Amino acid sequence: MSLVQSNRKKKSLDRGAPIKPEHTVSLDDVETIENRKESSNFVPDRVTQYANVRIDNHIRNKLEGLVSLGLAKSQKEAVNNAVEYYISSLSTEDRRAFKTVIETLEGRDVRMASTRKH
């Protein structure tokens, strides 16, 4: 019968002082992306989209090896590091041409993303 008895007689836990935020924010204070788009012809300078790159198992194993050794946090980071290293080894002229191509491609992504949302 002792299992059925209520625990109401026990003291409640002392949880200390109530936790309150230092600053409060109202909904009017928050500027959302949608509001920025409506108020000024908001055009993002970059759009991130996921893409797939086909690789074979040998490249995947090399990427996983870099991650296992702690040289990268993820395979994505390992690929990005390798690409950045390769770009840094380009000549000044090739790097300038590469930057131009990247700006063109990024601009296309922004335009494509903005037409898709409308």
What is the distance, to the nearest Å, from the Cα of residue 42 to the centroid of all Cα atoms in its chain?
A: 21
Question: 43-93, pLDDT tens digit by residue?
Answer: 567 788 888 999 999 999 999 999 999 999 999 999 999 999 999 999 999
- How many angstroms separate the Cα of 64 from the Cα of each of 30, 76, 86? 41, 10, 19
- Domain locations in the chain as residue ranges: 51-117
pLDDT in tens, 16-56: 888 888 888 777 777 665 565 555 555 567 788 888 999 99
pTM of the predicted model as reported, rounded to 2 decimal places: 0.56
Closest by CA to 111, choosing from 52, 50, 45, is: 45
Please answer whether residues 36 and 42 qualify as being in contact, where contact means their C-beta atoms are separated by less than 8 angstroms. yes
